[in-house]
Chains A and B, each alone.
Chain A
C-alpha cells in the first residue's frame, strides 16, 4: 500500500501548491484592490450605557432611579478620516446652530485624546428633540455625528436624603490615572459622594456597545457585534423614607443634623443634614454654564451645603456628655445608684475661678442630676473620675473615632485628654482641675459628630454593644449581598449601670423638672438627654446669631428594650430642650405610627412609676468579648471611597 501513501503525498503537495497560488493571487496580484478595501472599511462603536442600579429605601420604595435621555456623540475616527480637526468641527457645529457647551466639549476632547479613535465622544447630554432633528437632518454633511440613548439619574424626591445618596459625575482625570480605575474610561459616570461613591462598583453595571459598519456617508449598513449592557445592581438602604421625610421637615430651614438608627444592629433609619443640595445638579446640569455657576455657588456658600453635618460636622456635646461621665463613674464604682448624692453648690470653686451651675439643685442624686442636668453635680463627679479615666471610658464608647459608617469622608473628631491639651495649647500644656471640670459637662476640648453621639448613647442603652452604623441593607439581585461590615465595639456594662442610665434618661423626658419634656410621646417611653453646646463664652455670644449655642437632644426608645435612637442637633439656636427635643418628638411620633403598628417593636414597656429602677426587664447584655481597642477598621468599600 506504499504506493497509495505516496499518491496521498502527491495529492497533498498539489493541494498546498494550489493554496499557495490562491494566496499569491490575493496577496500579490490583487493586493492593491484589497488594500483599498481595508482602508475604506469604517466601523463605529456605539456605546450602550448600562443603567445604574436604583437606590431603594428599606421597604423597597424608589429613592433614585434612571430616566432615558439622548446624547449627541461624535465619532472621532470618522472625523479624522474626513480630514476634520475635532476642535474646528465643534466650532463649525456651533456656528451652524447646534447648541453645545464649548467648555465641557473642550475638556472631553482633551481627556479622550489618549483613547482609541473609534471610541466616540459625547458632545451633548440631555439632547432636546430639536438637537436630535438637527443632527438627523445633516447626516450627509456631518456623518461623524450620531445619537445615543443614555440613562440618567432621576431624583423623584428632589433633595431628600441628598447627603446619604451623594451624586454621580464624570470620572476625573486624576482618578483615571490611578490603577483602581483601570476599568473606567473618560466620560464614564462614577459615584462622587455618598452611597453612589461607596457602592459605585455595585451600582454602575457594565456598558455594552454595538460595533457597526458604516458606509462613507455614515449610514449604518451592518452590525458586526453587539454586547448588551449589564445593568447595575439595585441597592436597598436601611433608610425609612417616612422617617427621613419627617426628619428633613423638622429641620426646616435650620442648620443641623438628625440621625435615627437602630442601636440593636446599627441600621440607620434616617440621616438628615441641612442645608442640602440637589443631586440632580451633578448628573443633569453640570455641563451647562448655569450648572457650573450653581456648583460654584454651592462651593462658596458659607453654610457649606455639600458637607454632611451628621458625620462630618464635629461639635462640643454639651450636657449629653454627662451620660458618659455617669456611666463611667458607675462602672468604676465611684457611685452606686443607691449612694450617689453630691452637692450642686450652684457651681464649684477651682483654684481662683468659680464655675457656675445654671440652677440651684441642692443635693441631687445621680438620677435627679441627670433629669435636671445639674452641672454642679457633674463638676464634682468629673473631678472624682479624673481626666484619664474619663478619656479611657469615652473611647470605649467609640467617641473621638470614626464609627466606620459606609459613607465617605467621615470625621473622627476628638475627646478631651492630657495629650490633646498639650498639643492644642503649647503655651499652657499642663492639664488642670479646671479643665476636668469643663470637660465633665462636655465643653472645652471635645468635638464629636452627631452620629458618634447617637451610636454611643444607643450602645449604652442596649447594654454596651456599639454596632457599626450603616445605610446599606442589601445589594439586590444575582450575586448581591447584605451588609456584612458590622464590627461592633463591645464593652459590656453592669446591669445596674444600664438600668440607672435608662431610668435617668427616661426621667429627663417624663419626670417633672426634666429638661427634655418636649420629647415625650405617649406610650413609647422615650428616654433622652438634652445638651446645649456653647460656641463661645457666654459673655461674647450675646446678640450674635451665629455665635448662639448648638441645641442637642440625644435619645432612645422604648426605655426597656431600645429599638431606635435619635439624635438631633440644631446649630446656633439655643437650648437643646427647647429646640431639639420637640424635633425628636415628631420623629418618635412617626416611628410609633409606622413601626409599632407594623409590629417591628416587639415590646413596649408600661410607663415606669418609680424613680431609679434596677433589674426590671433584662437588657441585652452581650457575653464578654474582648474589647476592641485602637483604630476602628473601616470596611473595604469605605476605605476605597475615602481614597478617591
Chain B
C-alpha cells in the first residue's frame, strides 16, 4: 500500500510542466525540419530521437541524482575516451571530426561531454564549498578554481583538436555559472568579467594572429554590417536576417518560407532552424518560442533553489547555463548579433546527440526536483 502510494505520488510529483515545454519545442523543431527539407527523412529521424530523448529523460530523472553523481567519474572518463577515439576514427564533416559512426547512426561525443563535465563539476564544487562553509570566508579558493578549470579544460582541449570551436566555447559559461553559484568572491567575479572583456579586446586587436581568416570575416560581418560581403562570408548571416525579417508579425505561413525552401539558408534544418520558425511563424511565433525557453530556464532555476543540497543546485545550474548559452548564442546568431559559430538551438535543431544530451540534462533538472525531500 505504501509502495503504491509512494509511486503514485512520485509520478504526480514529476515535473510534467518541464516535460511539456520541452516536448512542445522539440515537436515544433520536427515540423520546421520537415518544412525546410520536405524531401529528406531528417524529420523522421529527428522524431525518433525525440522519443529516445524522452526515454532518456525519464531514466535520468528516476534514479536519485546522488547515485548518478557517484558514477560521474566513469561517465566523464568514458566521454573523454570517446573524444580521443573520435580524433583518429571519427567521420569528417566539412573539416571537423566530431562524429563517431556506430552502425547506421553516428553520435557526437562532444555533446555528451558537456553533461559529463557538469556531472563531474557539481559534486567537486559542492564538496569544496562544504569544506569552506564553516570557516570565516565561505568562498572557493584559488586552488579550487584551478582544479575545476582542469576538469573543464580536458574535454575542451580534445574538442579543439577536432576542431569544433563553437562546441568548445560552451564549456566556459558552464564553468563560470557553476563557479559563481558555488561561491566565488564578488571581487573575483568582477575581476573575471573585466578579464574576459580585456582578453576579448586584445584578441580582436590581434585577430589576424589568433583567428583564421574566415573567422575574422564572420566577426567583421557583425561589427560592420554595412561593409559585409553579402555574397561571401556575410552570406549566411544576411540570408538568415532576411528570413527573420521577411516573416513579419504573423509569418509567411507554415511550410511557406521561401528562404529555407529555396535553400537560400544553407543548412536551415540545423543551426538556422530558428530562422525558419521566424520566417514561417513570424514575430508572434518567435515570441512564443522565446517564452517557452525562458519558462524552462526560469523554472529550472527555481528547482535549483529548492534542491535538497548543494550538489543538486549545481547540477541544475550547470544544465541551465549550458542550455541558456546555446539558446542565446544561436538566436543572436540568426538575428545577426553574433557571428556564425556552430552552435545548435537546443531541442529544435536537427541532431540526435545534442537532442538526447539536452533531454538528459532536463532529466537531471527533473531529478533534482523529484528527489528534493530528504526521506
Judge whether A118 is part of the interface by a CB distance below 8 angstroms. yes
Q: In the complex, which residue of chain A has the Cβ closest to the Cβ of B249?
A: A28
A13 touches B294 (CB 8 A): yes
Question: Nearest 10 A-B pairs (CB), nearest first?
Answer: A34-B245, A222-B231, A38-B246, A27-B283, A26-B245, A31-B248, A16-B294, A37-B242, A34-B246, A35-B246
A26 touches B244 (CB 8 A): yes
Cβ contacts under 8 Å, B263 to chain A: 43, 211, 224-225
* B245: contacting residue among A20, A30, A43, A118, CB under 8 A: A30
Cβ contacts under 8 Å, B310 to chain A: 1
A38 touches B297 (CB 8 A): no
Cβ contacts under 8 Å, B242 to chain A: 34, 37-38, 41
A4 touches B293 (CB 8 A): no
* B262: contacting residue among A4, A6, A22, A118, CB under 8 A: A118
Complex CA–CA separation, A224 to B245 (angstroms):
20
Cβ contacts under 8 Å, B235 to chain A: 222, 224
Cβ contacts under 8 Å, A213 to chain B: 231, 264
Cβ contacts under 8 Å, A27 to chain B: 244-245, 247-249, 278, 282-283, 286
B328 touches A5 (CB 8 A): no
Cβ contacts under 8 Å, A34 to chain B: 241-242, 244-246
Complex CA–CA separation, A5 to B290 (angstroms):
20
B302-329 interface with A by 8 A CB criterion:
304-305, 310, 313, 317, 320, 324, 328
Judge whether B337 is part of the interface by a CB distance below 8 angstroms. yes
Cβ contacts under 8 Å, A19 to chain B: 290, 328, 331-332, 335
B312 to chain A, nearest CB (A): 12
* A222: contacting residue among B232, B243, B287, B324, CB under 8 A: B232
Judge whether B301 is part of the interface by a CB distance below 8 angstroms. yes
A23 touches B258 (CB 8 A): no
Complex CA–CA separation, A6 to B181 (angstroms):
10
Q: Write the A190-227 contact mask toward B (1 if CB under 8 angstroms, else 0).
A: 00000000000000000000010100000001101100
Q: In the complex, which residue of chain B has the Cβ closest to the Cβ of A40?
A: B242
A119 to chain B, nearest CB (A): 12
B82-104 interface with A by 8 A CB criterion:
none
Judge whether A8 is part of the interface by a CB distance below 8 angstroms. yes
A23 touches B328 (CB 8 A): no
Cβ contacts under 8 Å, A28 to chain B: 248-249, 283
Q: Dominant SS at the B interface?
A: helix
A636 to chain B, nearest CB (A): 25
Cβ contacts under 8 Å, A33 to chain B: 245
Cβ contacts under 8 Å, A43 to chain B: 262-264
Judge whether B36 is part of the interface by a CB distance below 8 angstroms. no
Judge whether B183 is part of the interface by a CB distance below 8 angstroms. yes
B313 touches A225 (CB 8 A): no
Judge whether B177 is part of the interface by a CB distance below 8 angstroms. yes
Cβ contacts under 8 Å, B349 to chain A: none
Judge whether B25 is part of the interface by a CB distance below 8 angstroms. no
B258 touches A1 (CB 8 A): no
A22 to chain B, nearest CB (A): 5
B335 touches A22 (CB 8 A): yes
B296 to chain A, nearest CB (A): 10
22 cross-chain CB contacts under 8 A: A1-B181, A5-B313, A5-B317, A8-B181, A8-B301, A8-B320, A9-B298, A9-B301, A19-B335, A23-B286, A26-B245, A27-B249, A28-B248, A34-B241, A37-B245, A38-B242, A41-B239, A41-B264, A211-B263, A224-B235, A224-B263, A225-B263
Q: In the complex, which residue of chain B has the Cβ closest to the Cβ of A36?
A: B246
Q: In the complex, which residue of chain A has the Cβ closest to the Cβ of B244?
A: A26
* A23: contacting residue among B182, B317, B335, CB under 8 A: B335
Q: In the complex, which residue of chain B has the Cβ closest to the Cβ of A222?
A: B231
Complex CA–CA separation, A377 to B332 (angstroms):
98
Q: In the complex, which residue of chain B has the Cβ closest to the Cβ of A223?
A: B231
A1 touches B313 (CB 8 A): yes
A19, A22, A33, A118 interface centre (most CB from chain B within 10 Å): A19
B258 touches A38 (CB 8 A): yes
A-B contact count (CB 8 A): 118
Judge whether B180 is part of the interface by a CB distance below 8 angstroms. yes
Judge whether B259 is part of the interface by a CB distance below 8 angstroms. yes
A226 to chain B, nearest CB (A): 11
Judge whether A12 is part of the interface by a CB distance below 8 angstroms. yes
Q: In the complex, which residue of chain A has the Cβ closest to the Cβ of B238?
A: A37
Q: In the complex, which residue of chain A has the Cβ closest to the Cβ of B331?
A: A19
* A20: contacting residue among B247, B259, B264, B287, CB under 8 A: B287
B283 touches A37 (CB 8 A): no
B183 touches A1 (CB 8 A): yes
A8 touches B177 (CB 8 A): yes
B237 to chain A, nearest CB (A): 12
Interface residues on B, range: 35 or more
A13 touches B244 (CB 8 A): no
* B324: contacting residue among A12, A20, A41, A211, CB under 8 A: A12
Cβ contacts under 8 Å, B313 to chain A: 1, 5
Complex CA–CA separation, A8 to B320 (angstroms):
10
Judge whether B266 is part of the interface by a CB distance below 8 angstroms. yes
B265-289 interface with A by 8 A CB criterion:
266, 278, 282-283, 286-287
Judge whether A24 is part of the interface by a CB distance below 8 angstroms. yes
Complex CA–CA separation, A31 to B245 (angstroms):
5
Cβ contacts under 8 Å, A2 to chain B: 305
Judge whether A541 is part of the interface by a CB distance below 8 angstroms. no
A13 touches B332 (CB 8 A): no
Judge whether A419 is part of the interface by a CB distance below 8 angstroms. no
A120 to chain B, nearest CB (A): 14
A596 to chain B, nearest CB (A): 52
Cβ contacts under 8 Å, A221 to chain B: 231
B239 to chain A, nearest CB (A): 8
Q: In the complex, which residue of chain A has the Cβ closest to the Cβ of B183?
A: A1
A26 touches B317 (CB 8 A): no
Q: Write the B215-243 contact mask toward A (1 if CB under 8 angstroms, else 0).
A: 00000000000000001100100010111
Contacts known (A35-B248, A38-B258, A43-B263); A13 close to B298, Cβ less than 8 A: yes
* B283: contacting residue among A5, A9, A15, A24, CB under 8 A: A24
Q: In the complex, which residue of chain B has the Cβ closest to the Cβ of A27?
A: B283
Complex CA–CA separation, A4 to B247 (angstroms):
38
B231 touches A23 (CB 8 A): no
A22 touches B305 (CB 8 A): no
B185 to chain A, nearest CB (A): 12
Q: In the complex, which residue of chain A has the Cβ closest to the Cβ of B267?
A: A225
* B181: contacting residue among A4, A22, A30, A38, CB under 8 A: A4
Q: In the complex, which residue of chain A has the Cβ closest to the Cβ of B245?
A: A34
B48 to chain A, nearest CB (A): 24
Contacts known (A35-B246, A118-B262, A224-B264); A12 close to B297, Cβ less than 8 A: yes
Other than the given A41-B239, A43-B262, A118-B262, 19 more pairs (CB < 8 A) read A1-B182, A1-B183, A4-B180, A8-B177, A8-B181, A9-B298, A13-B298, A16-B293, A20-B290, A23-B283, A26-B244, A27-B245, A27-B249, A31-B245, A31-B247, A38-B243, A38-B259, A41-B259, A225-B263
A5 touches B248 (CB 8 A): no
Q: In the complex, which residue of chain B has the Cβ closest to the Cβ of A213?
A: B231
Complex CA–CA separation, A41 to B242 (angstroms):
10
Cβ contacts under 8 Å, A38 to chain B: 242-243, 245-246, 258-259
Complex CA–CA separation, A31 to B247 (angstroms):
7
A5 touches B244 (CB 8 A): no
A173-199 interface with B by 8 A CB criterion:
none
Q: In the complex, which residue of chain B has the Cβ closest to the Cβ of A215?
A: B231
B122-162 interface with A by 8 A CB criterion:
none
Q: In the complex, which residue of chain A has the Cβ closest to the Cβ of B294?
A: A16
A6, A35, A38 interface centre (most CB from chain B within 10 Å): A38
Complex CA–CA separation, A19 to B244 (angstroms):
12
Cβ contacts under 8 Å, A1 to chain B: 181-183, 310, 313
Complex CA–CA separation, A4 to B177 (angstroms):
10
* B298: contacting residue among A4, A12, A211, CB under 8 A: A12
Q: In the complex, which residue of chain A has the Cβ closest to the Cβ of B314?
A: A1
B343 to chain A, nearest CB (A): 14
A4, A22, A26, A211 interface centre (most CB from chain B within 10 Å): A26
B179 to chain A, nearest CB (A): 10
Q: In the complex, which residue of chain A has the Cβ closest to the Cβ of B286?
A: A23
